[in-house]
Amino acid sequence: MNDYEFWKMCFKEQWATESDMKQAVELGQLTEDEFEQIVGLEPSLHSVLPSEPIT
């Protein structure tokens, strides 16, 4: 199973959110084209909120 198949399965099974998918693009595990194929939207249309520790 390659990265594309893994992330496609995770998104389909709702184990990964659109935000998770965008992070996969930023980490180089998915291309923007693969993101669009899986999620159906361009990654630039989504903002990823910075992770902040809960205090």
How many Å apart are CA 32 and CA 23, to the nearest integer? 11
**Which amino acid is it at 19?**
S
**pLDDT for residue 53:** 54
Backbone angles phi, psi at 15, to 5 degrees: -90, -15
Alpha helical stretches, state H, 1-55: 3-12, 18-26, 32-39
Helix (H, G, I), strand (E, B) or coil at 45: helix
pLDDT tens digits in sequence order for the chain, 55 residues long: 999 999 999 999 999 999 999 999 999 999 999 999 999 875 554 444 445 555 5
pTM over 0.75: no
What one-character DSSP code corresponds to residue 50? Answer: P
Q: Exposed, middle or buried: residue 46 (CB in 10 Å: 0-12, 13-18, 19+)? A: middle
